[in-house]
Amino acid sequence: MPTWAGMTHVKVEEEDVDEKKVEILDSLISMNLTQCIDSSSMKEEEDFNFQFLEQSGTKLECDNSLEGFHFGNGGGVGGFNEDTREQLDADMDAACTTVLDLPATSSSMCLDFESLDSVDGQETNGPDESIEIGEEEALLLAAAATAADESSDRESIGPVEQTSSSQCRNKGSKGAASSGRRKTKVDWTQELHRRFVQAVEQLGVEKAIPSRILELMGVQCLTRHNIASHLQKYRSHRRHMIARDVEAASWRHRRPLTWARSQQEGNAWLAPIQTSSSFPAAHPYASAGLPTIQPRLPAHGHHIGAHLVVWGHPTVDHSPTHMWQQPPVNTLPFSQEPDSSTYWQQTAPACIDSWTHPSIFPAFPYPFFGAPYAPSFCASQLVAPGITSNERSLMDESLPVALYQTTAIDSDISAAAGAAACSKPSDFLPPQEILDAVISEALANPCTPLPLGLKPPSVAAVMAELFRQGINIVATSTS
DNA sequence: AGGCAAATAT
DNA sequence: CATATTTGCC
């Protein structure tokens, strides 16, 4: 049995640092790495320095001395079993609270895959790799250690104390000194999320259920609940995005002239991505926030908007941006690197924030951009630099239309209407899946108010139109 | 179990 | 205050 007595030796001078230690230790436990860690060699590292690279590129230094810390000496073949680990967690919690007076975080039980990313570039994923986890996680350790060595060598130009105290903040659960024993939040790192998405896609978005996902992910530190929760959010987000896609596509369809022009003239701000493969992979996000129907369909045939890449499409998204975030458009003249502080930068305000340049667009004149899911195409258009006045008038002319569709996006009526409103119905018929998604999305948020006093068309009118086009709305009355 | 929504933490 | 994650309920 591993002993946690060593924990009592952890100094508490810098809480942040110590919290990080606890976190690291916890990670190690959760990694079932008993066979990978030589406890004796570990002990020799009296002043082990963990440094983690944060997404921002800043580094987390944990001036560390994990004295007398033992990793399970033969805790069993292949690591701890579930029970043992829980016991360990409990012990650890106890140690933290009673001795160290640290929050009883059995914190971040998840691997910090982010640090792993730097080493394990090409990563082999698959359903059958549950065995590899051990190695992979061993790599994490190595990565942590290596990063520590390297960056302490090359980056410690400035005073070290500076960094260690000021930057060593984690999502520290400070005051919450383990009262209710509420589970510590899972940190859905890029890598974790990537695996999640991969698993989901493997199963098929519709069929993906937590237990299976968990299985495929092969990450032991997660529970079904964790997955379920994340899945819930994933689905919700996906619906939003699909709704946006439909929305934008329908709008695009209304103003083909504008689109055509802008594309001809190479205006990245307006450049649409066509539904099929017509858009060069060179700028997969060149829609400048203009969402699109997935140009290349995944093998599983899910018609997901390309922006769902944001959600970490495993085969595409290698960007450092956070997973929920709209990736930066490299073709944009003024695009800013979005700060990776939050997952959800998808909605309009943030979209504007990260896609436009403050000096050019000091105050955006249209308040409706605060509306949920207000499509960024409006922003792109209205503020697009280098756009001709001719074009602008065209756009202005189209604004009311866009406006309506924009603000009403949350209602099933408007979403469906958006799809139905295409001038040439035969040109744009979203796949049933998308329609379904849009509808269910809308049903989920039926009462979003419409800014600017705009009203949606009557249900009857929309239904009539849909019916005329042969689109059957399956009545999924939830009441 | 799975899905959803309320509760809660950050 | 908004978002992310956990918890609890059906």
Per-residue pLDDT tens for A159-181? 322 222 222 233 433 434 344 67
Tell me if A228 sits within 8 A of A430, measured CB to CB.
no
pLDDT at A365 over 70: no
pLDDT band at A247 (very low <50, low <70, confident <90, very high): confident
Chain B: positions less than 7 Å from a protein CB are 1-5, 8-10
- pLDDT above 70 coverage of chain A, percent: 18
* CB A226 within 7 Å, strand C: yes
Task: Give the closest nucleotide to A235 (alpha carbon vs C1').
Answer: B3
- Cβ neighbours of residue A259 closer than 8 Å, sequence gap 6 or more: A252, A270, A272
Q: Which residues have Cβ atoms closer than 7 angstroms to strand B?
A: A 171, 173, 176, 180, 182, 184-185, 209-212, 224, 228-229, 231-232, 235, 444
Residue type, A109: M
Q: Average pLDDT of A108-124?
A: 34
For chain A, give the mean pLDDT: 46
Q: Average pLDDT of A194-213?
A: 93
Task: Give the closest nucleotide to A478 (alpha carbon vs C1').
Answer: B4
* CB A342 within 7 Å, strand C: yes
- Angstrom distance (rounded) from CA A381 to CA A376: 8
Give the tens place of pLDDT for each residue, A379-393.
Answer: 333 333 333 334 443
Task: Give the closest nucleotide to A171 (alpha carbon vs C1').
Answer: B10
**Structure pTM?**
0.39
Token pair listed for A261: 């022009």
Q: Average pLDDT of A68-85?
A: 31
The residue whose CA lies nearest the C1' of nucleotide B7 is A182
Of A20, A234, A169, A195, nearest in space to A116 by CA: A195
Token pair listed for A101: 């007076």
Higher pLDDT, A357 or A242: A242
pLDDT at A198 over 70: yes
State the Cα torsion A215-A221-A222-A223 to the nearest 10°. Answer: 90
Task: Give the closest nucleotide to A230 (alpha carbon vs C1').
Answer: C5
